Amino acid sequence: MSSNLHAAGRTSLVDSAIEQLRAQLSSGAWQVGDRIPTEHELAATLQVGRNTVREAVRVLVHSGMLQSRQGEGTFVRSTSDPAAVLHGVQRAGVRDVLEVRAALETEAARFAALRHTAEDLARMRAALDAEETILRTEPERSGREASVEHDLEFHTALVESAHNPALTEVYRYFSASVRESMRSSSVDQGMPEVDLASHRALVDAVESGDPEAAEAACRLLLAEPMAAVGRLLDDI
């Protein structure tokens, strides 16, 4: 592999991995149609965990630069990034992330109220049940951080319940920054506890088929964490 790859910094492992892989693609180190190194090889070269590599590759798959083929590996689809306009999102602060989440998720909630399926509702509720179990059995801060994946699964399921492929792709690309902001927030003493009741109220609003109610429930769910982030940043 090209020596251009180097160990990712600790401050933002996923972002660093994404940028280094994107640089390899843009420089032509890997050509269209080439299979990129395995997840294990990339993790060793970048000196990050395989989960970090997996998320970075997922972002580049969703941006259209890579293509995953079941049982074959991941291949180069394009050496130029069609989602270049969104690169700045990867460097967004927590407040920026929450503001964009509010815009994407509230609109998704409206569409979800009109287009959801029984499977969509079941998926959202399953994510909340799993998160509740973790928060009940591991109430310490590490437990809250462990619940992040289930929380993101819930919000992703909400967006996908809108059944708008373009909205889903934008949110999936954005999910790496969402995950980083959630992880940062989960261990911050100034952030509120996860309010599962407001999450369940949002699912109920979606199920009701009322787009206005779903939008309002989504805004209410995000209001407190957004206010808390604002207070923390104002104190800096």
Please tell me the distance from the alpha carbon of residue 163 to that of residue 176, in angstroms, as a whole number: 21
Whole-number pLDDT of residue 134: 85
Whole-number pLDDT of residue 2: 46
This prediction's pTM: 0.61
pLDDT, tens digit, for every residue of 3-29?
455 544 444 788 889 889 988 888 888
Please tell me the distance from the alpha carbon of residue 209 to that of residue 120, in angstroms, as a whole number: 13
Please tell me the distance from the alpha carbon of residue 186 to that of residue 7, in angstroms, as a whole number: 26
Q: What are phi and psi of 94, to 5 degrees?
A: -60, -45
Contact assessment for residue 20 and residue 45, using Cβ atoms and an 8 Å cutoff: no
3-class secondary structure, 66: strand
Contact assessment for residue 135 and residue 199, using Cβ atoms and an 8 Å cutoff: no
What residue spans of 63-164 are helical by DSSP H?
94-115, 118-137, 141-146, 148-160
Q: How confident is the model at residue 100 (pLDDT cuts 50, 70, 90)?
A: confident
Mean pLDDT value of segment 186-198: 69
**E-only strand ranges, the chain:** 66-69, 73-76
pLDDT, tens digit, for every residue of 35-91?
999 999 999 988 888 889 998 898 888 777 898 888 889 999 888 765 554 555 555
Please tell me the distance from the alpha carbon of residue 27 to that of residue 144, in angstroms, as a whole number: 40
Give the domains, in start order, of the chain with CATH numbers. 13-76 (1.10.10.10), 92-234 (1.20.120.530)
Whole-number pLDDT of residue 10: 42
Whole-number pLDDT of residue 189: 54
